[in-house]
Amino acid sequence: MTPKRLHIFKVSVLSSILIWVWLCSPTSSTANKVVQSTSYQSGIFNHLKDSAANKRVEIARQLSRPCRKMNEADAMRTIDDLNKIAVALKDLPLQCAVFDIRADYYSVNRGYNNLSTRYYKQAVAFAEAERLPMETGIYQHRLANYYFLYKKNIDACRYYLLSEKKLREVGFRNVPGMGNLFSETANFYYTLGDYDDARDNLKNALLYQREPSRTRVNIINTIGLTYRNNGNYLPALTYFNSALKLAHQIRDTIWVALAKGNIGSVYLLQNQYKQALPLIREDYEQSVKYHETVNSAIAMLRIVVISLKFGNLKLAAAQLDTVDKVLSVSTENVLNERIKYYDLLAQVKGGLNQPALAEHYRFVSDQLMDSVTKLDNIAAIERIRLLWLKQKSAEDFNNLKKSAGLAAFKQNTIIVVLVLLIVIGVLISNRQRLKAKKDKALLISERLRLYEERKNADAALSGYTENLRQKNEMIDSFKQELERLQITVDDREFAANLEKLMQAHIMTDESWDDFKKLFNKVHRNFFHNIRHNYNGLSDTDIRLLALIKLKLNNKEMAGMLGITIDGVKKAKQRLRKKMDIDDSDDIEYVVNRL
């Protein structure tokens, strides 16, 4: 193929890719297309009057589902009937649900919109005004789900944190469906790649899903995925095997296959191809049987990798044809699977001595990877912002506790001082009454000593008071500034201000100098040994080596350097090459010897 034809071919392929990605991405227009086929129906909520109070909200949600297909006037009229019943029954939780059901109607029919946002917030405000802490936490959680659905992740994270705090005060065991709430929060963190927080919530969800069920299998399996995605293969295998055992127990063949496929994927990542192949093949066969399109494609791609490792190029090519057919009929977003498909196809064509086709498919894979990388970068920034928000929430909570402690200390100090003054006054009175004839000079001296003690106590008390006032002013000022940023400025300014606040957690050039001085006091010859033994290392490389010396994990390094966990892993790989470290040696071992 000539360079000119190849250039034209690449341009046409790139155009096709962009169109394909656009077609696969969700659009807001689909959220607005709801068939309006149901009209107003009087009395559909009437039998709620005879239902148990603790079941009314759940029943009302089920009965309200047809409202989603009504036109706006009929839907609101029907929900008005529900509100009248809730008011007549004086059922406050049901009145909260009315706001939520209205919000749900507009979300289904209009996507992300001001009316849904307003009604969800009204449900929270109503619960707070009526002093319903459990309902407050539940509707904060539902508001978080709404924000997450439409990728408003900062707002979603804020309300997930508020909900968790409120429900913790109520007592998680007192909240119906608490396991589902933990699972939904875990899904939020998992989607953003925050596998540690996802795992914490999934483990909490397990506490409320005791009975053997598909839900419990799913939770256990997902915990395994969080470990696998972080490269922790041993605990991943433990959880996948636990999910497999439970799937056998409840005789769920599809979950048996999925769990085996995940076990096989870990073996594949560990280059144990013979152990991986039968497990992944069973996963593929069961996925095809139960029409699990994406999972069948993923399983077959893993089988292709094994075929290539065994040198079976023709078999790998035939298997990739199967993958192509599966992906072509999928209605889900299969961008990552397509990237893997084109990458493997390039390897097959290269092995079959077809360099032009190999270059073409590698080009397609790279172009798709660029799109994913951009999305990953956005997600990484989002994770950093969410981490800052979580840390800020924890700091605010701790500061409030400290303020409360200082206030209590102040109050106790005043009481102690007053008691001491009373005691001293009584002693002085008795001394005056019993020893009136003693030396007046001694009495004056004693009074001066008491006066000094009182003055010192007053000074200490004033110091505590002034310290408390300054801290409270600082906290109030910080809160007001954040509220002003959240309410009055546009998103770009808000992001900029957040970025400034986050700089305290990122190792900048300025903070690196301070860090380096302190590090030299502990490890005196470390930087000298690096410069002496390894030439060509950049300042960024040396920073990473220092963090490795401190035995920080990848997540902690990523937080300090302001990059993703994957970025840390890739940086370590580059360091291994620059430092010429053997594959059999750990970089951590080499660094610890410096």
* Inter-residue contact 100 to 121 (CB < 8 Å): no
- Residue 463 and residue 434 share a domain: yes
DSSP state of 504: G
Taking residue 264's Cβ as centre, other Cβ atoms within 10 Å add up to 27
- Residue 512 and residue 492 share a domain: no
- Residue 470 and residue 407 share a domain: yes
- Reduced DSSP (H G I as helix, E B as strand, rest coil) percent helix, strand, coil of the chain, to 5: 80, 0, 20
DSSP 471-494: HHHHHHHHHHHHHHHHHHS-HHHH
- Any alpha helices (H) in 178-213, and if so which ranges? 178-191, 195-206
Q: CA 419, 423, 429, 432 torsion: positive or negative?
A: negative
- Verdict on whether the full-model pTM lies above 0.75: no
pLDDT of residue 131: 96
Q: CA 269, 273, 276, 282 torsion: positive or negative?
A: positive
- Residue 519 and residue 473 share a domain: no
pLDDT 10s digits, 286-326: 889 888 888 899 999 999 999 999 999 999 999 999 999 98
Among 471-475, 506-510, 533-537, name the most confident range. 533-537
- Residue 488 and residue 405 share a domain: yes
Q: How confident is the model at residue 456 (pLDDT cuts 50, 70, 90)?
A: low
For the chain, what is the domain count?
2
Instruction: Tell me how far apart the alpha carbons of residues 351 and 470 are, in angstroms, rounded to a whole number.
Output: 71
Boundary of a domain, candidates 447, 478, 498: 498
As a whole number, the mean pLDDT across the chain is: 79
Whether residue 289 lies inside any domain: the answer is no
pLDDT of residue 469: 40
- Residue 485 and residue 420 share a domain: yes
pLDDT at 483 over 60: no
Q: How confident is the model at residue 192 (pLDDT cuts 50, 70, 90)?
A: confident
Whether residue 69 lies inside any domain: the answer is no
Whether residue 214 lies inside any domain: the answer is no
pLDDT 10s digits, 487-526: 555 555 555 554 454 444 445 667 677 677 767 767 778 8
- Residue 513 and residue 484 share a domain: no
Q: How confident is the model at residue 4 (pLDDT cuts 50, 70, 90)?
A: very low
Lowest mean pLDDT among 79-83, 419-423, 473-477: 473-477
pLDDT 10s digits, 168-178: 999 999 999 99
* Mean pLDDT, residues 372-392: 59
- Residue 463 and residue 427 share a domain: yes
SS3 260: helix
First to last CA, the chain: 52
Token reading at 283: 């996963």
pLDDT of residue 209: 86
Q: How confident is the model at residue 73 (pLDDT cuts 50, 70, 90)?
A: very high
Report the percentage of the chain scoring pLDDT > 90: 44
pLDDT at 13 over 90: no
Long-range contacts of 231-239 (CB under 8 A, 24+ apart): 231/569, 233/266, 233/269, 233/270, 236/262, 236/266, 237/263, 237/266
* Mean pLDDT, residues 113-128: 96
* Mean pLDDT, residues 263-274: 93
Q: How confident is the model at residue 23 (pLDDT cuts 50, 70, 90)?
A: very low
Taking residue 250's Cβ as centre, other Cβ atoms within 10 Å add up to 14
pLDDT of residue 298: 94
Q: Which residue has the tokens 């989603």?
A: 68
Q: How confident is the model at residue 236 (pLDDT cuts 50, 70, 90)?
A: very high
250 membership: H or E segment, kind and range: none
Higher-pLDDT residue of 67, 393: 67
pLDDT 10s digits, 564-588: 888 888 888 888 888 888 877 888 8
Instruction: Tell me how far apart the alpha carbons of residues 520 and 511 are, in angstroms, rounded to a whole number.
Output: 14
pLDDT of residue 36: 44
* Inter-residue contact 287 to 300 (CB < 8 Å): no
- Residue 521 and residue 479 share a domain: no
pLDDT of residue 531: 84
pLDDT of residue 518: 67
Whether residue 187 lies inside any domain: the answer is no
Q: How confident is the model at residue 442 (pLDDT cuts 50, 70, 90)?
A: low
pLDDT of residue 7: 38
Q: CA 486, 488, 489, 491 torsion: positive or negative?
A: positive
CATH code of the domain containing 532: 1.10.10
- Residue 575 and residue 516 share a domain: yes
Residue ranges making up the domain that contains 489: 400-498
Between the alpha carbon of residue 401 and those of residues 371, 404, 407, 414, 460, the distances in Å are 45, 5, 10, 20, 22
Q: How confident is the model at residue 383 (pLDDT cuts 50, 70, 90)?
A: low
Token reading at 50: 């005879």
Boundary of a domain, candidates 498, 515, 540: 498
- Residue 517 and residue 493 share a domain: no
Token reading at 149: 């659905």
- Residue 494 and residue 411 share a domain: yes
pLDDT 10s digits, 127-168: 999 999 999 999 999 999 999 999 998 899 899 999 999 999
pLDDT of residue 179: 94
Q: How confident is the model at residue 115 (pLDDT cuts 50, 70, 90)?
A: very high
* Inter-residue contact 308 to 352 (CB < 8 Å): no
Whether residue 364 lies inside any domain: the answer is no
Between the alpha carbon of residue 301 and those of residues 328, 338, 562, the distances in Å are 14, 10, 33
Degrees, nearest 5: CA angle 49-51-56: 90
Whether residue 375 lies inside any domain: the answer is no
Between the alpha carbon of residue 11 and those of residues 4, 17, 59, 360, the distances in Å are 11, 10, 56, 11
* Inter-residue contact 160 to 187 (CB < 8 Å): no
In a 13 Å sphere around the CA of 233, the CA atoms on its Cβ side amount to 10
pLDDT of residue 472: 40
pLDDT at 405 over 80: no
pLDDT of residue 378: 56
Whether residue 6 lies inside any domain: the answer is no
Boundary of a domain, candidates 467, 498, 529: 498
Whether residue 474 lies inside any domain: the answer is yes
pLDDT of residue 536: 81
